[in-house]
Amino acid sequence: DQQVKQNSPSLSVQEGRISILNCDYTNSMFDYFLWYKKYPAEGPTFLISISSIKDKNEDGRFTVFLNKSAKHLSLHIVPSQPGDSAVYFCAARTIQGAQKLVFGQGTRLTINP
Amino acid sequence: DAGITQSPRHKVTETGTPVTLRCHQTENHRYMYWYRQDPGHGLRLIHYSYGVKDTDKGEVSDGYSVSRSKTEDFLLTLESATSSQTSVYFCAISEPDREAAFFGQGTRLTVV
């Protein structure tokens, strides 16, 4: 059973516009949600996170929104830049020990000039 | 990169042979993890460690074993490699008071 789902395998956005990546989850015990960015032949890189007690977290061009009632989070990138082209993974963590992450399937974002 | 080195970076092996992947960290982080990445599945947890000699199974642990004899090293062993274990393997580390885990560069393993 997939506890974290990214239903869009790919997304194409024009440079300068807003990119919105979505993620849904089923486990109400998740206490932290994270977004990772991954380039080919590299490891995932931590991008931004949000605690389950918040509904928004912003870091420069990146903003993550959390809607607990809908069990949904989204990552907004504005303005989108060519270097943002990568695969983005949503991940979630439970309160219990060892901070194990559960990942979504990933969304490939392509920024077109 | 957060002081994480995976070796080897690439490996081709034959079905039925044992394979060991190594993860070395210089951050003295308590937690270490092994994930595999496959198309359509994202990253899935194989095994993790919460201290020296303390390990536990993840979501996809069948056919894998791990060992952690020192804080800095976490080994993943495929006891008898199968074609279904062809994947990209990532090691990650984290600390109890930090929300994010940090990943190594990955090992691409092909079982033929």
Which pLDDT band holds residue B1 (cuts at 50, 70, 90)?
low
Residues of B in contact with A94 (CB under 8 A): none
Summarize the confidence of residues A69-92 as an average pLDDT: 97
Using a pLDDT cut of 90, give the percent of chain B over it.
90
Number of H helices, E strands in chain B: 0, 11
Alpha-carbon span A38 to B64, nearest angstrom: 25
Test B101 with A43 for CB contact under 8 angstroms: no
Instruction: Assess contact for B110 and B87: CB atoms under 8 A.
Output: no
Test A93 with B105 for CB contact under 8 angstroms: no
Query: Mean pLDDT in chain A?
Result: 95
Instruction: Assess contact for A27 and A96: CB atoms under 8 A.
Output: no
Q: Which of A21, A99, A102, A105 to mutate to test the interface with B (most CBs of B within 10 A)?
A: A99
What was the pLDDT predicted at B2? 63
Give the tokens for residue A59.
Answer: 């870091």
What was the pLDDT predicted at A99? 82
Q: How many CB pairs under 8 A join A and B?
A: 60
How many alpha carbons lie under 13 Å from residue B44 in its C-beta half-sphere?
19
What was the pLDDT predicted at A76? 98
pLDDT digits (tens, 9 = 90+) for B26-81: 999 999 999 999 988 899 999 999 999 999 999 999 999 999 999 999 999 999 99
Summarize the confidence of residues A82-108 as an average pLDDT: 91
Which pLDDT band holds residue A73 (cuts at 50, 70, 90)?
very high
Query: Mean pLDDT in chain B?
Result: 95
pLDDT digits (tens, 9 = 90+) for B82-104: 999 999 999 999 988 777 899 99
